[in-house]
Structure 1
Amino acid sequence: MDWKLHAASLAARATHPLSPWWGPVTDIPRHLLVPRWFTPGAHGWTVVDGPADEESWAAAAYADTTLVTRLGPVHADQAEPGRSVTGLPTSSSTLPSLVVSMLEHGRLAPGLRLLDVATGSGYSAALACHRLGEEMVTTLDVDGYLSKAAAERLERIGHRPDVVTADATAELPGVFDRIVSMVSVPRIPVSWLHGLAPGGRLVTTIAGTGLIVTADKTPDGGAAGRVEWDRASFMTTRSNVDYPPLLDELFAGAAEEEGEVTLSPFPVLNVMQAWEVWSMLSLKAPGIEHRTGTDDDGGRLVWMLHPDTSWARARTAPGENTATVHQGGPRRLYDLLDEIRWRWLEHGELPVYGARVTISPDGETTLSRGGWAAML
């Protein structure tokens, strides 16, 4: 495989020739870090073995795309060929342009000690080693198998960072000038503040949102920064082998129950595709599960489900611009959504992107902009 040609093509899509990350992207053989991955199908996911078809391997590894490498507790390396696997993605090799973007937000430079949170395939650690030197890079993952596999593959391509198996929200394995996370967190862990050197910088995404937070450590032990204007979404940190199951039982009830019926002046919205709205709603009511569909008449359907048993179901009929809404449980989830959509109409934007971020020494994180504020 002429992987250098493919890597150069990837660099042209993921970065640019004047970027300090151009060299790392062109020089890292990503395919050797992702020998197997899952692809979705009608009845689940199936594993793809890269070495069995080098042309497909190169096309996947050097595309600017995310490759899922773990579903629930099942690693692609250990999956049985031809057998469908179901579950939520629990690890991946993130699309390279996003990895580069997160590293760029870290303002990395030679001489700085980096903690790369969520090792995954090891690709972000490899890029960082190329730029900073392996002695300056520590990479951490909660999954022992992933850590071991990534360490072996990184060594095979000539990089030996410190690879640690640990919970990213627990005590960190040292003090670092930069913490860049390729996994999202519900709030900034206190351990990150303790493990950040004076004047150090952290970069992460907030769970359930498309918000990238960058913050520099302040003299009081907290940090201050902002929500960046670009967007990203990662898997959420986990302590167990898998994420909690989806709210299928609640969904079954929400699909049939009448609940409280109202009329929304807006058509139904695929919230997960509306980044500002989704992020704002997740800050207001973290943990909402969104589902979409159509009925036999061509009507568009959306459901909102929450672990506190709140639910909402809305339908926009063909040719209509309003929605009939059914809601139940302790909170009116769709009312929260409509409040956010009204705010967007009134102000022409939502305040989440570009918001100021203030993190207290105990990890309490506040986002604020233009009179609006939210606390994580």
Structure 2
Amino acid sequence: MDWKQHAADLAHTAVHPASAWHGPVLATPRHLCVPCWYAAGPEGWTPADGPADEVAWARAAYTDQTLVTRVGPVHADHAADGQAVTGRPTSSSTLPSLVVSMLTHGRLCEGQTLLDVATGSGYSAALACARLGDDYVTTVDVDPYLTEAAGERLDRIGHHPKVLTQDAAAELPGEYDRIVSMVSVPRVPASWLRVLRPGGRLVTTLAGTGLILTADKGEDGGAAGRIEWDRGAFMATRTGDDYPPQLDALFQEVRERDGDDVTVSSFPVLDVMQAWEVWSMLSLTAPGIEHRTGTGDDGDRMTWMLHPDGSWARAHTQPGSRTTTVHQGGPRRLYTMLEAIRWRWIEHGELPVYGARVTVTPDGSTTLARGGWTVTL
């Protein structure tokens, strides 16, 4: 494959030409990091084999898109030919523009050591090696197959960073000037602060949100920073082969049930997962909500909210209507929380999540605050 022209096209799309990361994207054969991946389809996730179709391989690897590489416990490298796999994505090669954005937020300079959290396909580590040099990059992932495969693929590219199989939330080896995470965390792990040098910088996304957190470590062992104005989301950290099961049983139970409370909202149904500011604020208020959307038999726009504590909500807006009928049950009123956030959005013209100040204590307690609003994770 003549990958260099493809890499040039990707660099033109994903990176500003004046960026220090433009050269690394030009110099990195992403296709070698992702020889196999999954394509979404009506039957589930169908594996794609790059070497079997180099045209499709080049198109997939050098488009600014995320390539899912693992579904449940099954990596695309090990999937049976042509057989769809069902489940939730558990690893991927994230779209290059977001990888570059995270690295850019890290404010990396030559001579600084980097801990790249969540090795995945190895692409972020490859970019970092091209910019900083192999000796300055350590990359960790909880999955032993991912670290083994990424190490071999990085070797083929010509890079030899330190690759460790490691739970990034547990105790970490070494000391670093920068930590950049390609996986979302519920709050900043205390272990990161212990290995980050004073004056060092960490960059991560918060689980269940579209929020990018940056913070610089102080002499007291804590860190201070902010939620950046741009957005990004990654898969959340996991400790096993798969994420906990989704709330399918609760969904089937309440899918058409009348609620304990039935109200009428003046807002039409909102696809919360597409309204990043609202989604992020709601996730910080009530972590763990699952959102599902659909269309009723008569064309109603429908949405469900489900929580592990048994709380649920179902809302539907009829065609041509601007009001929504809302059914709620369980110990908490999830849709009422959503409504309060939407009213705040309208009244203030924004929500306080983006641009919020961040304070992280040495034990990892993470507080966001802006305009009188505050939340501690």
Structure 2 equivalent of residue 369 of structure 1: 370
Q: CA deviation at 1:43?
A: 1.0
Structure 1 equivalent of residue 322 of structure 2: 321
CA distance in 1, matches of 2:323, 2:177: 51
Q: CA deviation at 1:136?
A: 0.3
Structure 1 equivalent of residue 27 of structure 2: 27
Which aligned pairs between 1:168-179 and structure 2 lie closer than 5 A?
A: 168-179=168-179
Structure 2 equivalent of residue 267 of structure 1: 268
Q: Provide Cα deviations, 1:247-289, integer angstroms capped at 9, x if missing partner.
A: 0011012212211101111001000000000000000000000
Q: CA deviation at 1:49?
A: 0.3
Structure 1 equivalent of residue 12 of structure 2: 12
Q: Provide Cα deviations, 1:124-177, integer angstroms capped at 9, x if missing partner.
A: 000000000000000000000000000000001100000000111001121110
1:257 and 2:257 aligned: yes
Q: CA deviation at 1:18?
A: 1.2
CA distance in 1, matches of 2:193, 2:203: 12
Normalised to the residue count of structure 2, the TM-score between the two structures is: 0.99
CA distance in 1, matches of 2:343, 2:180: 35
SS at match of 2:199: strand
Structure 2 equivalent of residue 128 of structure 1: 128
When the two chains are superposed, the root-mean-square deviation of aligned CA atoms in Å is: 0.5
Q: Provide Cα deviations, 1:282-303, integer angstroms capped at 9, x if missing partner.
A: 0000000000000011000000
Structure 2 equivalent of residue 333 of structure 1: 334
CA distance in 2, matches of 1:17, 1:276: 29
CA distance in 1, matches of 2:300, 2:40: 26
Q: CA deviation at 1:361?
A: 1.1
Q: Provide Cα deviations, 1:301-341, integer angstroms capped at 9, x if missing partner.
A: 00000011100000000000111000000100000000000
CA distance in 1, matches of 2:93, 2:110: 25
SS at match of 2:234: coil
1:347 and 2:337 aligned: no
CA distance in 2, matches of 1:35, 1:220: 45
Which aligned pairs between 1:30-49 and structure 2 lie closer than 5 A?
A: 30-49=30-49
Structure 2 equivalent of residue 183 of structure 1: 183
Structure 2 equivalent of residue 160 of structure 1: 160
Structure 1 equivalent of residue 282 of structure 2: 281
Q: Name the amino acid aligned to 1:359.
A: V
CA distance in 2, matches of 1:343, 1:219: 37
Normalised to the residue count of structure 1, the TM-score between the two structures is: 0.99
Which aligned pairs between 1:16-165 and structure 2 lie closer than 5 A?
A: 16-165=16-165
SS at match of 1:183: strand
1:246 and 2:230 aligned: no
Q: Sequence identity, in percent?
A: 72
CA distance in 2, matches of 1:167, 1:33: 22
Q: Name the amino acid aligned to 1:88.
A: R
Structure 1 equivalent of residue 303 of structure 2: 302
SS at match of 1:252: helix
CA distance in 2, matches of 1:173, 1:227: 27
Name whichever of 251-260 and 340-349 sits farther off: 251-260
CA distance in 1, matches of 2:138, 2:79: 28
Q: CA deviation at 1:362?
A: 1.1
SS at match of 1:108: coil
CA distance in 2, matches of 1:343, 1:256: 29
Structure 1 equivalent of residue 361 of structure 2: 360
Moved over 6 A (4+): none
Q: Name the amino acid aligned to 1:114.
A: L
CA distance in 2, matches of 1:361, 1:51: 47
